[in-house]
Structure 1
Amino acid sequence: MDADRGRLLAERERTTRRLAELTGDFREIVEASASTNADDEHDPEGATIAFERSQVATLVQQARHRLREIEAALARIDDGRYGTCERCGRPIPVERLEARPTARTCVAC
């Protein structure tokens, strides 16, 4: 379990850094577009700005979701449920946990 915890803590650190970067990127895009009078609907550059803003917002949401999954996996380690399938109760193969440390289900489920 120490290796699993270490893997999850390292992933949490990477994801937290990524979230901080993305949040900064999003803030920069919003600030840059606020200082212009670009009309997203009619300005050719406006569509690009709106796309970038939407894309970064989606990546921020994904990073936040990833952090929630990591925290849930750490909680499962703490209460002894880590590595047990939430559907069937069988052990989750080590290879799956190595590939997807936040896995909640076995391959079959």
Structure 2
Amino acid sequence: MNIQNNIEKKLLSHFDPAHLEVINESFMHNVPRGSETHFKVVLVTPKFTGERLINRHRAVNAVLKEELAEQIHALALHTYTHDEWHNLYGNSPDSPNCLGGMKHATS
């Protein structure tokens, strides 16, 4: 399992997020091609409600303690409650309903 997938798995399991992005930004730094050392995490979860930013970051760092000690050089955290996320970025639009119905369904 690569580091990015491991981060995603741990954060999904611990925070049950409404939205999660784990982006490998290592290519932006002076590291060998294919490195997994620099990450950006966008995490939206109700578990952050009422928590100060420092406590949110501490919670993420605690979950990723092993990776931070051994593999990750830099971790940019963007942590939000659902309301904060919605106020900043709104909801993504719903996809339109299919107008073709079940054309490909077998009888």
Name the one with the larger helix percent: 1
Q: TM-score, normalised by structure 1?
A: 0.25
Q: Radius of gyration: which is bigger?
A: 1
* TM-score normalised by length of structure 2: 0.26
Structure with more of its chain in strand, by fraction: 2
